[in-house]
Structure 1
Amino acid sequence: MTFGGLSAGSKRRQPHMANAQNLQTTTSFSSLPRELVSEVLARVAASSSTDLFRAKLCCKRFADVAEDNRVYQRVSLAKFDIVPWRKNPKVSMFVKKCRRCKNPDALYRKGVVNYFRGKNVESALQRVEEAVKAGHDEAAYALAVIFVFGGEELKQKGMAMLSGMKKSAAQRRRVKEWRDNLRRILKMIWVQNSLVLGKRPICCGSQHKRKRGWGPDELDAVESTYEGCACDEEIGPICDALPQIAV
């Protein structure tokens, strides 16, 4: 006998099938490997720390897995001040764990601030270099600038690094963003590192001149013919952000 195109037997089986489907749905999430859930949360964290914190409130498993090192290693710190005006113990603990887990942005921030402050300079430089090895482009820019201040041998290395970052218009726009960010950091801290407070480094001994009338934004739109000259132009705004530096 049929009811609306379905046999009585099939209708009797429907509740059982529905229960099985519901059971499968409710158990599928808990059966996911921890590594997979951790990877999902790490991707969420890399996009937004706010979304990560919201995810932690969803369930106990998210809150537990969100403490994995890989999540802290990849979480975005874009919404955290590099130099906070007020100390927040919870924020400080969070950022410290990010550094322990080798989060590149956390390493870069602490490294560059401490280096220019003259605080634990060797350790600070090591943090910046770790961030560079992890693929942090802004840290690579800061490291190149630091090298330019580091004596003749390191200066040549820094010049080559800066030159390699400005091969196209898109790259030069990114360099300008990194330069502006570094200048903001320098203006927010008390720069005390004697290595960068001496005489302004000169990368080009010749007097090459740009087209008269070009402003700072226009200088970023073109590539200098001379590596040393381009480096002098690049390092100039950084030096201007430093206190008591001689020309």
Structure 2
Amino acid sequence: MTKINKVPYLVTAEAGNKQTILTLSGTIQKRYWSDDKYIDARLVRDQLESVENDVVIRLNSTGGDVFQGVEIYNYLKKHPSKITVEVMGTAASAATFICAGADEVIMNTGTTFMIHRGATFSWGNKNDIEATLKMLETIDESIINIYTELSGQTANQIESWMDEEKWFTADEAVEYGFATVAKNKTAPENQYPEDLQAMISSAVAAALETQSVAAQATVVEPAKQKSLLEKLKEEG
């Protein structure tokens, strides 16, 4: 397997014959020059632009810049490959948009998923504050649109969760439509797959049938008793 375009610590891509594995771990924020502290849309685009096989993104991020997150979301949505996101730690805030852009989202054991309203800092006069408020309202509407499309939940439900700054367990993320699979369940003891049960039943039936045939083969018919006249004839 050949490593391509390695960025230290945060992002690595491995190109194989069947799939390309992209690891994203860190804060989502626009990168400048050779800054390797952050994940941004350009970096993801550079890693996947020439990829034609399936892509697996291993994600662990508490989020960051909403605009970079939305750009990554739209890039992944338009990418011709099948995109699978495996959440390795958490997908929170803007990092959830990476999940939303995928074809499949796998929540590994102990992972979490978090959504909330857009947030920023503001400074200035009344007009500046009002402009910031309008910007945040627009951002929230965009976020709600992404989550409703991803999950199938109503806009009111999504907005309520965003107000709460809602954290979901792996199972809850799947239950409410934000993810596809939660890999944290084990089969109950003494529970076998259906094909194995069929094999066991077949083997038991065959063993019983063999025992029945063997029992029939060992049955000896009792010897016929001779009459008194026959015994006298033999002695004479």
If each structure's strand is expressed as a fraction of its own residues, which one has the higher value? 2
TM-score if structure 2 supplies the norm length? 0.28
TM-score if structure 1 supplies the norm length? 0.28
If each structure's helix is expressed as a fraction of its own residues, which one has the higher value? 1
